[in-house]
Amino acid sequence: MSTSTLARPGRNSSGPTKGMTKNTEGTCTCHGLPYVDLLLRKSKVVREGERALSIRAQEDRGRAWAAEHGYCVRKVWRENLSAWSDVKRPKYDAAMVAVLAGDVPALWVYALDRFSRKGAESVVPILGKARVIFDYERLDSMDGYEQAA
C-alpha cells in the first residue's frame, strides 16, 4: 500500500482521518489496520549549521512508515516549539494521554530528541502501553519481541 492511498487529515484535524471512525479494537474501519499516531516537532530555534527536518517531511516519513508496516494514521500531533524543560507542550501531553489510555496501539516519532530532551527516561511510562518507534535512531519497542515470545 502506498502512502498516497491513506487520506491525509486537515492541518488542524483533531480526530481520525475523514471516513474513519474509532472502534474499540484500535483499528480503522476502512482499512482494518491498527492505528498509529505521529508525534512531530520542529524547534523554532535551530542552531547555526544544523539542519532540521520540517514538520511536513517528518509527517511524510511517518506516513510512509505506517504504510510499509501495516498501520493507519489516526492522529498527527504537530508542535513547532523548542522542547526545553519549562516549555508547555499540550500536543505532546495529549499524545501521551492517548497512548496511556490505550486509544492508540502505536506512536511514531521521527527522533528521540523530537520526543523529549529528557532522553530515554521520558519513554519509560509508555513502554508496554504501545509500540513506540523512533525512526531516525531505528529504535522500535517491538524489536526482538517476536523472538522472545
Q: What is the pLDDT of residues 62-115, one digit of tens each?
A: 999 999 999 999 999 999 876 566 778 899 889 999 999 999 999 999 988 778
pLDDT interval class at 8 (50, 70, 90):
very low
pLDDT score of 138 more than 80: yes
Model pTM? 0.72
- For residue 24, give the amino acid letter: T
- Residue 43: predicted pLDDT: 74
- Dist. CA 99–CA 124, nearest whole Å: 12
Query: Cα dihedral sign for 27, 32, 34, 39?
Result: negative
pLDDT score of 15 more than 60: no
pLDDT score of 117 more than 70: no
The three-point CA angle 110-66-144 to 5° equals 80
pLDDT interval class at 47 (50, 70, 90):
low
H-type helices in the chain, by residue range?
55-69, 90-100, 112-115, 145-148
Mean pLDDT for the chain? 76
pLDDT score of 41 more than 80: yes
Q: Smallest Cα–Cα separation from 74: which of 12, 112, 21, 115?
A: 21
- Residue 123: predicted pLDDT: 76
In the chain, beta strands by DSSP E: 35-42, 72-80, 106-109, 131-134, 139-140
- Dist. CA 36–CA 65, nearest whole Å: 10
Top pLDDT among 33 and 89 is at 33
Q: Say which residues have a Cβ less than 8 Å from residue 1's Cβ, sequence separation at least 6.
A: 67
